[in-house]
A and B are shown apart, each in its own frame.
Chain A
C-alpha cells in the first residue's frame, strides 16, 4: 500500500555539524564567538552547507 514514489525514499541525512555562530538580536545577524559576522565567512558557509539547496528539509521544500 506504499505510494510508488516512496519506493525511492532514503533516510534523511541529519546534519551533524553544529553551527559555530549564534544569533545576535541587536545586530539581527549571526555572529562567531570572536565577534565576526558568520555570513561574511564564505569558507565557513561552504563548509557547513547552511546556504545550500537540500532535499528533505523538515520545514521547507523551496530549496
Chain B
C-alpha cells in the first residue's frame, strides 16, 4: 500500500516526511497535479460495477486502489504545466484526479472538502468558540459605522485579511496590523474588514495537531518588543521557538475542533496573554511545520509519516461514502 503525496517538487518540507517514509520502507508516490498531461498521467475505468484507476509520474505507476493515504500538502494547480494550459483543462484535470481519488478508501490529510471549509476564517472563529477555545472579540463588516462603534468598545484593535490571502497585482502582503484609535473607517465600505481586539501577548503559540497528537511551540515576546509589531511572521525578534506543554483544557478543545472540522492535520496559532490564556487566532489546515521542527526538534515530520503509513480502512468501513477522520 502506497502513500500518495500531492505537492510540488520544490516542497522541501514534504521531503522531511518522505525521508521517514523511506526509512520505514513505506512506498511513496509524489505527484504534482500541475504536471498532469506533461509528466504525470492518470487513468480510471468503471466497468462491471467496479473501479480500477492508476496514476503515473516520474516513472512510477500506482493503483488508486492500492493507496493507503493521501497527503494534500502543496499541490499545484492541475495541468498548470500542460503544453496548452487553460482554465478549462485545469477544471478537467481537477475533476478527473480528485474525483477518482475521492472514490477510494485511502485516508486523507486533509480531505479536500474539509480543507476547503476549514480555510474560512469566520467559520474557524465560530468553531473555536463552540469548541471551548477563547476567541478575541472580532468584527467582520462592510459597515463603517459598525467598525467605529466596535472601535469605541474595543479601542485597541488589529486588522487582518478575512481570507488570509494576499493581493497579487501587484504582489503585496497584508500582515496583521494595529489600528490607531483615531483611524478613519470609511474605507470599510469597500471590502469586508476583519477587526479584532489586540491581545497584549507575552508569547506566540504554534500548536501542530497530527491526528490525535498535539505538539506546541512557544515564541516569547521580548519585553522591549514594539507593541505595533503584531504579526509574528513579520517580527524582527530572533527569540527561538521552544517546545511548550499544551494545557489540558486547550488540548480537549483542540481535539473537539479537529473532530468537528474533520481534519487530520491542523496548525493552530494562539496568542498567550499575561495571564497565560491561549487566545485562538486561526487554524491553518495545511500550515507549515518544518520551521518548528528545525528549531524545537519536535518530531513533527516523523509523526506525520507515521500517520500516513497506517493501513487504509477496508472497503466495507466506508460504504456510506462519509469521510472518516482517524485520530
Contact = CB atoms under 8 A, between A and B. Distances in A.
Most buried by B among A5, A46, A61: A5
A52 to B, nearest CB: 4
Contact of B287 (A28, A40, A56, A62): A62
Contacts of B170: 11
A5 B191 contact: yes
B285 A52 contact: no
B171 A11 contact: yes
Nearest to B39: A25
A57 B166 contact: yes
Given A29-B18, A49-B291, A56 B58 contact: no
12 contacts: A2-B190, A3-B190, A4-B159, A28-B29, A30-B10, A46-B294, A49-B291, A50-B12, A53-B291, A60-B286, A61-B163, A62-B286
Most buried by B among A1, A11, A13, A61: A61
Nearest to B285: A62
Contact of A12 (B16, B18, B171, B289): B171
Interface in A1-26: 1-14, 19, 21, 23, 25-26
Nearest to B195: A4
B172 A25 contact: no
B168 interface: yes
A10 B191 contact: no
Interface in A28-63: 28-30, 37-40, 42, 45-46, 49-63
A10 B172 contact: yes
A5 B194 contact: yes
A52 B286 CA distance: 13
Interface of A: 1-14, 19, 21, 23, 25-26, 28-30, 37-40, 42, 45-46, 49-63
Nearest to B190: A3
Contacts of A29: 15, 18-19
B233 interface: yes
A4 B150 CA distance: 15
Interface of B: 9-10, 12-13, 15-16, 18-19, 28-30, 58-59, 74, 76-77, 119, 147, 159-168, 170-175, 177, 185, 187-188, 190-194, 206, 231, 233-234, 267, 284-291, 293-295
B13 A50 contact: yes
Given A5-B161, A37-B15, A56-B173, A51 B290 contact: yes
Contacts of A39: 12-13, 15-16, 18-19
A51 B288 contact: yes
Given A3-B193, A53-B233, 5 more contacts: A6-B172, A23-B10, A39-B15, A51-B290, A52-B291
A56 B7 CA distance: 19
B15 to A, nearest CB: 4
A2 B18 CA distance: 44
A7 B172 CA distance: 11
Nearest to B13: A51
Nearest to B164: A61
Nearest to B192: A3
Nearest to B189: A4
Contacts of B10: 19, 23, 30, 50
A52 B290 contact: yes
Given A51-B12, A51-B294, A63-B284, A4 B168 contact: no
B174 A9 contact: yes
Contacts of B74: 59-60
A30 B193 CA distance: 40
Contacts of A58: 168, 171
